[in-house]
Amino acid sequence: METKKQIVSSTPEPTIRRLPMYLSYLKNFLSDGREYISAPHIASDLRIDATTRTKDLAYIGISGKPKIGYSVPVLINYLEEFLGYNRNDLAFLVGAGNLGTALLKYEGFKNTGLRIVAAFDNDTRKIGGKIGGVEILPIDKLRNMIERMHIAIGIITTPEGVAQSIADMMIGWGIKAIWNFTPAIIKAPEGIFVENTSIYSNLAVIINKIQNQ
Amino acid sequence: METKKQIVSSTPEPTIRRLPMYLSYLKNFLSDGREYISAPHIASDLRIDATTRTKDLAYIGISGKPKIGYSVPVLINYLEEFLGYNRNDLAFLVGAGNLGTALLKYEGFKNTGLRIVAAFDNDTRKIGGKIGGVEILPIDKLRNMIERMHIAIGIITTPEGVAQSIADMMIGWGIKAIWNFTPAIIKAPEGIFVENTSIYSNLAVIINKIQNQ
């Protein structure tokens, strides 16, 4: 197990970001009834150069057989294991507005290890109800719930202006990773990981490409 | 104008992705009533190294004054101009499910140049209605509408399985940039830009960090 952990921790971030793409691609491939895939086939379909593809797959600890290639079900299994889809990683979500609601109802998480076990909001019309099967609780329950359930992941889908103060509370009460969907820049102490899903950054790149066409 | 265009097109993608973060930060800074900011101040608050910050701001064509720093309103203006927030970039969205609805209702786009002018779905209960003020039209109107309105940006929030066929149609009818919110890997011909907002990739990085703590 220790060896596996070391392999995992040394995996570069760009590789980790690409792995769900491999997984999605391979699941489609398998659903077409094909059991083996060659390495060049993967690389060309995903438009990844061969060197990158070889390194990516080496990080998850799998190598293909000469002339046969990779067993697709085995590769899927390795990827799911590596991505933690066989674990249960519990998360709380704060901010049950439009984006929060979309995430709570998001079917895609069912395939992953992420479980959003409760959501928090200050809107009394939402509190006590459920969205996507997840109960909406008042913000003042957040501390007690994080501490009691040892929740590691905090998802922030609040208005931008309160994102930092929600993050500060979450971190103070034991959250280890913040997933920030707001455009706010979240400051966090060493050892706390912040991942941003910034649709503004994506939009900026699109507009730049359009402008230069 | 030609010179500006050349500056724009040569800007590296990581810089473009960081610019909305500068903008968000500076707007907060200005709302605190502060008119000037020093370069080291920006770098330390955003946790960006000084070299990167200098290069990023040079790309948008602004330089600070010695001892005074940058005028915050001027810097905001330059960033908004660079990011195309003073333009109108028209987009269509296909797939008015949970994620599509969240995007249609997303208040944040109001500050940007993006205008989602129509959405398309095959759910007859949604067609004819409005979400976030945007009309929902049947998919079979897509071709005519793209061609008539010269829409350049297509946003895909459909189920993963139909994303490629929607993209193929959009591209065939004149869309220049695809913004893909599904986990599907969209293949597109040369000259068509595909930007992916992959929450699976973000999740993969978070789970990897949690696993290694």
Same domain flag for A101 and A168 = yes
Same domain flag for B177 and B75 = no
State how far the alpha carbon of A6 is from the alpha carbons of A2, A42, A62, A88, B212, in Å: 6, 26, 15, 21, 8
B90-105, pLDDT tens digit by residue? 999 999 998 899 899 8
User: Who has greater pLDDT, B157 or B8?
Assistant: B157
Q: Cβ-count burial of A209 within 10 angstroms (0-12 exposed, 13-18 middle, 19+ buried)?
A: buried
Kindly state the average pLDDT of the residues A93-110.
90
The total domain count for chain A is: 2
Highest mean pLDDT, choosing among A26-30, B21-25, B167-171? B167-171
Round to whole Å and give the CA distance between B12 and A13.
19
Looking at the domain assignment, is residue A163 inside a domain?
yes
Instruction: Residue B56: give its domain's CATH number.
Output: 1.10.10.10
Query: Residue B157: is its pLDDT beyond 60?
Result: yes
Same domain flag for A74 and A150 = no
Sheet harboring A134-138: ordered strands across?
A: A130-131, A134-138, A114-121, A89-94, A153-156, A177-180, A193-196
Round to whole Å and give the CA distance between A22 and A16.
10
Query: Residue A55: is its pLDDT beyond 60?
Result: yes
In this complex, is the C-beta atom of A187 within 8 Å of any C-beta atom belonging to chain B? yes
For residue B36, what are the β-bridge partners? B71
Residue B145's pLDDT band, with cuts at 50, 70 and 90, is very high
The position carrying tokens 């915050």 is B72
Domain that holds residue B175: 89-202
Query: Residue A2: is its pLDDT beyond 50?
Result: no
Same domain flag for A174 and A106 = yes
Same domain flag for B78 and B94 = no
Q: At what angle do helices B199-211 and A13-31 cross, to 10 degrees?
A: 120
Looking at the domain assignment, is residue A181 inside a domain?
yes
Looking at the domain assignment, is residue B50 inside a domain?
yes
Looking at the domain assignment, is residue B210 inside a domain?
no
B114-136, pLDDT tens digit by residue? 999 999 999 999 999 999 999 99
CB-closest option in B13, B25, B114 to A205: B13
In this complex, is the C-beta atom of B187 within 8 Å of any C-beta atom belonging to chain A? yes
Residues in chain A within 8 Å Cβ distance of B2: none
For A161, the closest chain B residue by CA position comes to B28
From chain B residues 78-97, the ones with a CB under 8 A of any chain A CB are 83-84, 87, 89
In this complex, is the C-beta atom of B177 within 8 Å of any C-beta atom belonging to chain A? yes
User: Who has greater pLDDT, A54 or A16?
Assistant: A16
Kindly state the average pLDDT of the residues A1-29.
74
Give the helix ranges, DSSP H, for B136-213: 142-149, 163-172, 199-211
- ipTM for the predicted complex comes to 0.88
Cβ atoms of residues A123 and A137 within 8 Å: no
Kindly state the average pLDDT of the residues A95-105.
91
State how far the alpha carbon of A160 is from the alpha carbons of A1, B23, B131, in Å: 40, 13, 22
Same domain flag for A148 and A58 = no
Least confident segment among A3-7, A84-88, B46-50, B205-209: A3-7
CA atoms within 13 A of residue B179's CA, in its CB half-sphere: 28
Q: Quick check: B89 and A5 CB within 8 A?
A: no
Residue B47's pLDDT band, with cuts at 50, 70 and 90, is confident
Q: What is the pLDDT of residue B9?
A: 55
Distance from CA of B157 to the nearest CA of A (A): 11
Q: What is the pLDDT of residue B128?
A: 97
Round to whole Å and give the CA distance between B114 and B93.
12
Instruction: Residue A192: give its domain's CATH number.
Output: 3.40.50.720
Residue A165's pLDDT band, with cuts at 50, 70 and 90, is very high
Query: Residue A132: is its pLDDT beyond 90?
Result: yes
Q: Can you read off the two tokens belonging to residue A101?
A: 């609601």
CB-closest option in A5, A112, A195 to B212: A5
Q: What is the pLDDT of residue B149?
A: 94
Distance from CA of B86 to the nearest CA of A (A): 12
Same domain flag for A183 and A153 = yes
Same domain flag for B97 and B171 = yes
Query: Residue B37: is its pLDDT beyond 60?
Result: yes
Mean pLDDT of chain A, nearest integer:
89
For A196, the closest chain B residue by CA position comes to B202
Give the helix ranges, DSSP H, for chain A: 2-9, 13-31, 39-46, 50-59, 72-82, 98-104, 142-149, 163-172, 199-211
Highest mean pLDDT, choosing among A54-68, B163-177, B189-203? B163-177
State how far the alpha carbon of A41 is from the alpha carbons of A48, A68, A70, B112, in Å: 10, 12, 10, 40
What's the longest Cα–Cα distance across chain B?
Answer: 62
Q: What is the pLDDT of residue A93?
A: 98
Same domain flag for A159 and A60 = no
In this complex, is the C-beta atom of B113 within 8 Å of any C-beta atom belonging to chain A? yes
Q: What is the pLDDT of residue A9?
A: 55
Instruction: Name the domain boundary from A27, A55, A83.
Output: A83
Round to whole Å and give the CA distance between B60 and B48.
17
Q: What is the pLDDT of residue B49?
A: 86
Looking at the domain assignment, is residue B207 inside a domain?
no
